[in-house]
Structure 1
Amino acid sequence: MGFVGLMSDAAARTKGLRWLSAISAGVLMCKIVYDFTDVISSSFIKAYRKLNRKEKLEWNNRGFSTFHAIVAATGSLYLLFLSDLFSQADDELIINRTSPLSDTLLGVSIGYFLSDLAMIFYHYPALGGVEYVIHHVLSLCAIIQSLISGQAQFYILLVLFTESTTPLVNLRWYLDISGRKSSKTYIYNGVALFFGWLAARIILFVFFFYHMFVYFDQVKLVYPLGFYSLLVVPPAMAAMNVFWFWKIARGMVKTLSKARHSM
């Protein structure tokens, strides 16, 4: 084996170690935030102490779901629009651009989705039904492929940015389970969720498909499984987003109608 081969093996081992460390950090993050949510909620939130075991389980689960969403959305925003990773001035094909930071973010998200999926299966169906399983499996398949191949990270980060709506979804559940469904905060949250979902999970997906169309000459260069995944997974997730958006819109209209009649 020559010097170049030794360097390649060393680089591969370093990259593999970084991936494993990032995934492990994602799992550890979920565990720490889960326990931290339980401790803080038990100490300072009266409504939490009145919940049954199943409700506390979901409360804490949504704690690390919210934390991951903030990390994923913030990291994706920086990599997509603030860093130079996908700058037009770079001659490297967009589909082949990666960085240690983008690899780390994808690894952490893999750790989160593995942790959450494990909890969903273990407590099924307390933490979500078939739609959550499908969403997590599709997300894992797409992120793992992108991390290992080093391709299409631009599109994976766009999808990860849609996690920015998750804190609003979780806050809505927290308010509901705490008996604050008639509060102004619940109403404001519903309106924010409607527009946030519209921007991050409907309009952003339109941009996603438009970008794929414009750069389809590059998209076709993605390895076969990744290429067909890009043609199948995003449309499937977009369809689920539209379905959930329809439910969010109905819920918002219902809540606003009740608020108007109670005035």
Structure 2
Amino acid sequence: MMSRRIEVIAFDTTYYPFAFASCAFFLCIYKYVSPSLSLRMCEGYRNMPLAKQIDWNTRVNSTLHSAIVSCMCVYSLVYDNEISEDPIWCDAPMVRTSCAILFGYMASDLVVMTVHYKHIGETFYFFHHGASMYAYYYVTTYGVLSYFANYRLMAEFSTAFVNQRWFFDVLRYPKNSPLFIGNGLAMTAAFFLARIAVMPSYWSKVYSVYGTEDFARIGHIQGVLIVTCVILDVMNIFWFYKMCLGVKKVLTILLKLNTPTEESRPAIPVEDKVK
């Protein structure tokens, strides 16, 4: 898939079939594949209440989606140098396909959350999905801002760790077990690297194109680049703050467990004390 420079913004539905196929694919995984495999491979799934099973299946979708999009994101970062050289007007087919897949996945997730709102519905996630779909719609349809879209897609690198923590929790793994603690630390590190640490580089790139002729030519889509991404970054900072509180809590508990108390210290014989 070769990138090219777009000269004029034009409505283009070329990548819409990817979005529709993605939506249908993830709805199928949610409805049929995940429940069937989970019943066979995980004994704990069978005993979960309905709300937990619904949430489980949506997270299977989320993990699968993050793996697909992350691989495509890495490919674009490594092999598509054109999007970095022309961050606004470079039409990158791989990035547009990734955005279409993400759009379809989030549409399927919104369908599930709407149908099962009383079980897993949460206004915050409706807002998050809406903001993301609004931004990626422009990349999928018009082909602009591919560099910035691919940068934002890097956030998916941390999703699998977030979901795995939930899986461990719902399966009642001990929170002081090496698996639980290791995943928690990996989740926090991945979230920081994929969503927080990249912020200065991302906004530096935005600043470098702000006010240029290329930037002015995209018109109202400027708001997608700035306003939507500010909203998503505020959400990411909030989530990372909550993760840090969780890490602090776990480390505090571990420190207390590993610190010997007066009762646990071996008694010193009286004659040794005299000496």
Q: TM-score, normalised by structure 2?
A: 0.83
The range that moved more, 118-127 or 18-27, is: 118-127
Structure 1 partner of 2:239: 244
Structure 1 partner of 2:168: 175
CA distance in 2, matches of 1:109, 1:215: 26
Residue 49 (structure 1) aligned with residue 43 (structure 2): no
Pairwise CA RMSD: 1.9
Q: Per-residue deviation at 1:25?
A: 1.9
Instruction: Describe the shift of the 1:245–1:218 C-alpha distance in structure 2 as closer, same or farther (beyond 3 A).
Output: farther
Structure 1 partner of 2:119: 126
Q: Deviations over 1:33-91 (max 9, x none)?
A: 32322111101211111101110010011001111111112211211233334254xxx
Contact between 2:59 and 2:163, CA under 8 Å: does it hold in 1?
Answer: yes
Q: Deviations over 1:123-161 (max 9, x none)?
A: 225335222111100000000012222111111111111
Number of residue pairs aligned between Structure 1 and Structure 2: 246
Instruction: Give, as a single letter, the amino acid of the residue that structure 2 aligns with 1:221.
Output: A
Residue 204 (structure 1) aligned with residue 198 (structure 2): yes
Q: Which has the larger radius of gyration?
A: 2
Q: Deviations over 1:178-201 (max 9, x none)?
A: 001422111011111111111111
Residue 84 (structure 1) aligned with residue 77 (structure 2): no
Contact between 2:89 and 2:214, CA under 8 Å: does it hold in 1?
Answer: no
Contact between 1:95 and 1:153, CA under 8 Å: does it hold in 2?
Answer: yes
The range that moved more, 143-152 or 94-103, is: 94-103
Q: TM-score, normalised by structure 1?
A: 0.87
Alignment equivalent of 2:223, drawn from 204, 223, 228: 228
Structure 1 partner of 2:142: 149
Instruction: Give, as a single letter, the amino acid of the residue that structure 2 aligns with 1:24.
Output: F
Alignment equivalent of 1:139, drawn from 126, 132, 138: 132
Counterpart secondary structure, 1:220: helix
Contact between 2:95 and 2:149, CA under 8 Å: does it hold in 1?
Answer: no
Q: Per-residue deviation at 1:102?
A: 2.3
Instruction: Describe the shift of the 1:115–1:253 C-alpha distance in structure 2 as closer, same or farther (beyond 3 A).
Output: same
CA distance in 1, matches of 2:77, 2:216: 21
Contact between 1:147 and 1:153, CA under 8 Å: does it hold in 2?
Answer: no
CA distance in 1, matches of 2:78, 2:133: 24
Instruction: Give, as a single letter, the amino acid of the residue that structure 2 aligns with 1:56.
Output: Q
Instruction: Give, as a single letter, the amino acid of the residue that structure 1 aligns with 2:254.
Output: A
Structure 2 partner of 1:26: 22
Percent identity reads: 24
Contact between 1:86 and 1:154, CA under 8 Å: does it hold in 2?
Answer: yes
Q: Per-residue deviation at 1:223?
A: 2.2
CA distance in 1, matches of 2:118, 2:199: 29
Equivalent positions of 1:65-76 (< 5 A) are 65-76=62-73
Q: Deviations over 1:219-244 (max 9, x none)?
A: 62352221012121111111111110
CA distance in 2, matches of 1:222, 1:129: 37
Give unmatched runs, 5+ long, in structure 2.
Answer: 1-9, 259-275
Contact between 1:68 and 1:109, CA under 8 Å: does it hold in 2?
Answer: yes
Instruction: Give, as a single letter, the amino acid of the residue that structure 2 aligns with 1:242.
Output: I
Instruction: Give, as a single letter, the amino acid of the residue that structure 1 aligns with 2:241.
Output: W
